[in-house]
Amino acid sequence: MNVKILNEKSIPNLPWQDRPADCQDVIWRYKANPIIKRNILPTSNSVFNSAVVPFEGGFAGVFRVDDKERNMQLHAGFSKDGMNWDIQPERIQFETDIPEMAEFQYGYDPRVCFIEDRYYITWCNAYGWHPTIGVGYTFDFKTFHQLENAYLPFNRNGVLFPRRIGGNYMMFSRPSDSGHTPFGDIYISQSPDMTYWGKHRHVMGPSKGWESTKIGAGPTPIETDRGWLIFYHGVLTSCNGFVYSFSAALLDKDEPWKVLKRGRSYLISPQELYECVGDVPNVTFPCANLVDADTGRIAIYYGCADTCTGLCFTTVDTVMDWLDHNSQV
């Protein structure tokens, strides 16, 4: 590897498929996508925009499961190989000693990030039936504890960094509105205790073409010797509605609100049938990445058409080389 990966572990059983010989793409799709179909549970309408981490020699995750009443719920799940999943039939019941956090109204688009000694979960959480960023944690993906919401409504796409920077926790977010938000920039906020968030900094906003309407953070950032590698989604407003694609950027290691590289074009856009056809057509929405420190391989989990879950692959070196030659910064 040319790029050194920091603070990641070896994942010898990372789900993987080599790039096809005739493929020149920086990121390539798993040939058996989608790996999680919409009806994996008897009660599920759709399973998408979900988060996965290594856990006890296999994998665990928190999954967005919209049920057949169209309630947006969060469910835990487990897998031995990262491709075949056992998703729990009942939604997560968060434990909390904060009365105002006790009522679960809806939850969606979770991320999971291991920091220090536990797995933190962030998700779009309803407070007064308005979207903000919920924060919780688990040690075993069986018992879940809920903390205070990070921000006031309206906010989405809360993504934690995997370690403190300058003594503070770091989180991306995307201030929004009560609807489908025809705007959106990525911001970063800091917290000494995972409760009080401040020192808000602008990271980047929409640009041209494929990301001209709004952008939002994707999976947990990947720390390298060159900075933080991130994947993020961008939205184009077409004559037929929003089109969600995703690309990559590189941020400063110590001041991650400073953008060092940012892809000119998307790396994945809705092109396959399962990405173009579903409850919300034309969506590819990344929420998790697994990174093998030994090989630099990356497996990215992404939501497809707000209906099912896909898997795609790349390597740190491949993405970094592409950014070096295709940056708009």
pLDDT digits (tens, 9 = 90+) for 230-282: 999 999 999 999 999 999 999 999 999 999 999 999 999 999 999 999 999 99
CA angle 152, 154, 156 (to 5 degrees): 105
Contact 48, 307 (CB under 8 A): yes
Long-range contacts of 6-9 (CB under 8 A, 24+ apart): 6/223, 6/224, 6/225, 7/162, 7/163, 7/223, 8/222, 8/223, 8/291, 8/292, 8/293, 9/54, 9/293
Kindly tell me if the per-residue pLDDT of 32 is higher than 90: yes
3-state secondary structure of 190: strand
Domain ranges of the chain: 28-325
Phi/psi for 325 (5° steps) reads -110, -5
pLDDT of residue 156: 97
pLDDT of residue 15: 98
pLDDT of residue 180: 87
The predicted model scores a pTM of 0.98
Q: How confident is the model at residue 179 (pLDDT cuts 50, 70, 90)?
A: confident
Class (C level, CATH) for 28-325 = mainly beta
Q: How confident is the model at residue 229 (pLDDT cuts 50, 70, 90)?
A: very high
Q: What is the DSSP string of 60-93?
A: EEEEEEEETT--EEEEEEEESSSSS-EE-SSPP-
Kindly tell me if the per-residue pLDDT of 287 is higher than 90: yes
Strand pairing class (214-217; 227-238) = antiparallel
Of the candidates 53, 10, 48, the residue with the CA atom closest to the CA atom of residue 308 = 48
Element (H, E) at 311: strand 308-315
pLDDT of residue 161: 98
Contact 192, 199 (CB under 8 A): no
Residue position matching structure tokens 């939501």: 303
Average pLDDT over residues 24-37: 98
Per-residue pLDDT of 96-121, as tens digits, reads 999 999 999 999 999 999 999 999 99
DSSP state of 165: B
Average pLDDT over residues 51-65: 98
Phi/psi for 210 (5° steps) reads -60, -20
